[in-house]
Structure 1
Amino acid sequence: MKKLIVAVLTLFIGTTAFSQEIDFGIKAGANFANITDASGLSNKTGFQAGIFGGVKFSDKVGIQADLLYSQQGGEFDFGDFDLTYINVPVVLKYYIVQGLNIQAGPQFGFIVDDNIVFDLGDVTADAKAENFDLSGVVGAGYDFPFGIRLDARYNFGLTDVSKIDGANGKNSVFSLALGYSFL
């Protein structure tokens, strides 16, 4: 009896493991970014590009992680926030109908370039951004036939961007990306 239970469990686990769909591909798109809680800033348009990988556990549920080069920040009359990150969003995907999904999860951002310049006439100051950014991600996507993907996401910062004491401001990024899955 014990051997039968082990055999059935092994068969069940093996079938479940092989029924998972593995996904890997590339993606690129546009970012429409700003810094929240900072007055006078306007949107900054940038781009993102990178790779993604994921697993679809069933017809309804999957998980996806991206590795993205991402231009973010904001612009204002007397300076610019030019921020470049390597972002790693990890989203749970729930498929509403075939192809159409909603997404949510955390994003871990690592600064690779920060150019924060304040030009106040005779005085120009250069500030630095925090090395790490934690954000939340919500969005929707559609998986088209032949591996084509379209994602629309909103990333809302949970940590302040600037290292300046008393300066509050978090990343706020709407992104639209097109991807291609190799598998």
Structure 2
Amino acid sequence: MKKIILGIFALLLFGNVSAQGLDLGVKAGVNFANITDASGLSNRTGFVAGVFLGGKLNDNIGIQGELLYSQQGAEFELGDFNLDYVNVPILLKYYVKNGLNLQLGPQFGVIVNDEARTVVGEVIDDIATNDFDIAGVVGIGYDIPLGLRVSGRYQFGLSDVPEMGKGKNSVVTLALGYSFL
């Protein structure tokens, strides 16, 4: 998996990407997350932040890789289930008109925090989660002049969150970015 991700970043840096179409920047936003197929859970609101590197392959097609810290999980009646990931989405971007683009691709995540807390602050340690997450991403974005980037995405989990049981990540993300190039 690491070789695939490194290969895509190498393609971005040394492949058929024009310097004019290169996009390097930072982004931040808000996540509205939940875990599907699990009863008694509701949305958890968290933040997402990181960096992106992308480029246009031609007038209509681009590719973008990102490295993001993402707060996900869910809330339940007596507390919350915090799942924080470092995610690497690799997105194909289809430019519809001007800066408007549609986004599609896989996302690979590594969990960096997994804890459940009750309303009294007690940590519940008996919920085992998978360390690695695979998801699909679909979204829409707009590249505003002066380097601003706006995007809305839906991330649908392809792998189960708990080690024993069912439930996949489901995340809506709204983000604002700035490109330095």
Question: Structure 1: how far apart are the matches of 2:17 and 2:44?
Answer: 43
User: Which residue of 1 is the match for residue 3 of structure 2?
Assistant: none
**Partner deviation per Cα, 1:27-62 (whole Å, 9 max, x = no partner):** 000000000000111000000000000010111000
Question: Larger Cα Rg: Structure 1 or Structure 2?
Answer: 1
Match for residue 170 of structure 1 among 148, 168, 176: 168
Question: Structure 2: how far apart are the matches of 1:108 and 1:125?
Answer: 25
Displacement, 1:126? 2.9
Aligned 1:26-175 pairs, distance under 5 A? 26-117=26-117, 126-163=126-163, 165=164, 167-175=165-173
What amino acid is the match of 1:77?
A: E
CA contact (8 A) 1:81 1:115 kept: yes
Question: Structure 2: how far apart are the matches of 1:113 and 1:17?
Answer: 36
Displacement, 1:81? 1.3
- Scaled by the length of structure 1, what TM-score is found? 0.84
Runs of 4+ in 1 over 2 A off after TM superposition: 16-20, 116-119
CA contact (8 A) 2:18 2:56 kept: no
Question: Structure 2: how far apart are the matches of 1:18 and 1:74?
Answer: 41
Structure 1: tracts of 5 or more residues without a match:
1-15
- Residues 141 and 125 (structure 1 numbering): CA distance in 2 closer, same or farther, change over 3 Å? same
Identical aligned pairs, as a percentage? 60
- Scaled by the length of structure 2, what TM-score is found? 0.85
Displacement, 1:63? 0.3
Residues matched between the structures, number: 162
RMSD of the TM alignment (CA)? 1.7
- Residues 40 and 84 (structure 1 numbering): CA distance in 2 closer, same or farther, change over 3 Å? same
What amino acid is the match of 2:167?
A: G
Question: Structure 2: how far apart are the matches of 1:21 and 1:162?
Answer: 40
Question: Structure 1: how far apart are the matches of 2:78 and 2:145?
Answer: 47
